[in-house]
Amino acid sequence: MSKINNPSIHILLVEDDEFMQAVLDEILNVNYRIDIRPDGLSALAFLQGGNIPDLIISDLNTPNMNGLQLIEQLKVSDFFSSLPIMILSGEESSDKRIKCLDAGADDFVVKPFNPAELEARIKMVLRRAGKSLS
């Protein structure tokens, strides 16, 4: 198990591709506590079970409930509407990015991504959300 430098920051990763799950877990678990769910539906169940992360990073194209649908569900909830959410996707369509941002996503990162840029964007979203990075 990798050493976690900032276990106080909890990220929920919503990703159905097992290879991408492993890549993101390897990158992120060095600095954060990570939970992984394969789709928006299981992520929503995880949240409703009282597991509240500091940030959600979701793939756009997951089965059962995709990233855009997850954003829409979270933003209509009184309890979850303030959770920051980033979309991570292979979709390069400007239209998709705009839809996600308009729906309430805090950022949109296109795959493949530079791990250092992803880390910088995570820190930026957490800062804007008032989450302590120390």
pLDDT tens-place string over residues 74-111: 999 999 999 999 999 998 889 999 999 999 999 999 99
Mean pLDDT for back-to-back runs of 10 residues, the chain (134 residues): 63 97 94 96 97 97 95 95 96 92 96 94 95 72
Q: Is 133 among the domain residues? A: no
Q: Is 58 among the domain residues? A: yes
Q: In what order do the strands lie in the sheet with 33-37?
A: 33-37, 10-14, 55-59, 85-89, 107-110
Q: Is 68 among the domain residues? A: yes
DSSP 86: E
| 53 CB-near residues (< 8 Å, 6+ apart) | 10, 11, 12, 35, 47, 83
Does an H or E element contain 57, and which?
strand 55-59
Range of 82's domain?
A: 10-128
pLDDT of residue 17: 95
Q: What is the CATH number of the domain that holds 50?
A: 3.40.50.2300
Q: Is 61 among the domain residues? A: yes
Cα–Cα distance, 129 to 134 (Å, whole number): 14
Domain count of the fold of the chain = 1
